[in-house]
Each structure stands twice: as C-alpha cells, then as structure tokens.
Amino acid sequence: GAGVSQSPRYKVTKRGQDVALRCDPISGHVSLYWYRQALGQGPEFLTYFNYEAQQDKSGLPNDRFSAERPEGSISTLTIQRTEQRDSAMYRCASSPLLGNEKLFFGSGTQLSVL
Amino acid sequence: EDQVTQSPEALRLQEGESSSLNCSYTVSGLRGLFWYRQDPGKGPEFLFTLYSAGEEKEKERLKATLTKKESFLHITAPKPEDSATYLCAVQGGTGGFKTIFGAGTRLFVKA
C-alpha cells in the first residue's frame, strides 16, 4: 500500500474486554514499531520487530499487552482485559531497513475503554 | 536509562521571528538523533537524522544541529504553516534499534 495502514481507526470497548489492533506496514518494510501516544505527549515506545522476530518488548506496560508479526508483515497488538488507563492513541510505524532511522507512521488507532 | 527532554513545551512566534527548539538527551552510544514534525490528528513525519556531534542538516527554514548532549532545531523566519509539534527522538545505547521520543515542542506561528 501507499502508507502504513492501521485498523480500526477508532475502537470503543468496555472495561474487561480484549481488543486487537492491526497494523499493515509499507510493503517490504523490515522493521515495525508500536507506540502509544497520550494527548500532548510524545510517542511512548512499546515494542518492535525485525521481520517476524520481536526484538524488544521492554515498553509493554504489563503482561496484558502482547504483539505478534507472524509472517514478517502485518502485526497485531493485543490488549487483554482492558482497563480505562489503556485508553490512548496507538501508533504503528515501519522502516525499510534494519536500523534505518526513518520511521513511517500510520494514522493510529484511538482506543477508548469505558 | 535513555532519556530525551525537549524545551520549551510550547513556543509562540510571530511570522518571521526566528528561534530555536532544544532537545537534551542521555544515551550511551548514540546511533542517531532524529527530528519529526507532527500535525494535529496525524502521525509524526520524519525531518532529519543526525549521527555525530558537529553535524548539521537543513531543510527549507529548518536547520538541525547536534552536540554531545543536545540538539537544536533552528527555525529561520517561520511562517504560519510551520505551526506543528516538533518531536526529537534518539536511538542507541543498550536499546538496539529502539527509538525513544521526547514529549515535543508545540510551535505556534502567528501571521
């Protein structure tokens, strides 16, 4: 595709439900990153992949959060038993080369937990 | 722990009034320092990468510089369309290719 695609654009869920956020990176991009961004703040690192391998998950807040990229392309960020504090914009970014600095960001998924 | 601090939090300029944004960083073994622009409701958009102290990059009215402890984004004769949030990020240390962002500086340029 022309850019990084994230779906859904908006997700409203009730506390305790599981949600899955999808990221479709630019075709051929090697690295994929997940960030969470609160209003008025910079992106907060969650995790990243090189190809299908999860390289660093140190930013995942707790074990309710997980991510996968099984075929080295599309990635899913899953939040189990959602809590109100999980409400935020979740952004995905991809880059064409390992260690390449230029991240291409998607439009994000705005998650609201009621 | 890798850290990025940006100042000021917000900056209001008149059109044509030049100024600078600051990014202070703490990281061992810097791989790169990056500047991004973010417009409201959109994802960050890449501007520059700087790799070593003394390096400078320019693009239109923007010029980024790097020292061993901080980076500056200089804005010369800004226009209203330069209004946005400017984010600084670093990659390096023990984080591999993990990229850490600062909180950003919100720039408002008034005509």
Q: What is the pLDDT of residue A102?
A: 87
Select from B3, B42, B99 the residue whose CB has the most chain A CBs within 10 Å, as the one to mutate to test that interface. B99
Specify whether the CB–CB gap between A22 and A76 falls below 8 A.
yes
Q: Which residues pair with A11 in a beta bridge?
A: A111
A contact residues 30-89, partner B, Cβ 8 Å cutoff: 31, 33, 35, 40-45, 48, 50, 55-56, 58-59
CB contact under 8 A, B43 and A4: yes
Q: What is the pLDDT of residue B29?
A: 83
CB contact under 8 A, B43 and A42: no
- A73-76 long-range contacts, CB within 8 A, separation 24+: A73/A24, A73/A25, A73/A27, A74/A22, A74/A23, A74/A24, A74/A25, A75/A22, A75/A23, A75/A25, A75/A32, A75/A34, A75/A49, A76/A20, A76/A21, A76/A22, A76/A23
Question: pLDDT tens-digit profile of A11-66?
Answer: 999 999 999 999 999 999 999 999 999 998 999 999 999 999 999 999 999 999 99
Specify whether the CB–CB gap between A67 and A78 falls below 8 A.
yes
**Structure-token pair, residue A61:** 């807040």
Q: What is the pLDDT of residue A100?
A: 62
Is the pLDDT at B51 greater than 80? The verdict is: yes
Burial class for A13, CB neighbours closer than 10 Å (0-12, 13-18, 19+) = middle
Q: What is the pLDDT of residue B81?
A: 97
Measured between CA atoms, the residue of chain A closest to residue B32 is A101
Question: pLDDT tens-digit profile of A92-103?
Answer: 999 998 766 689
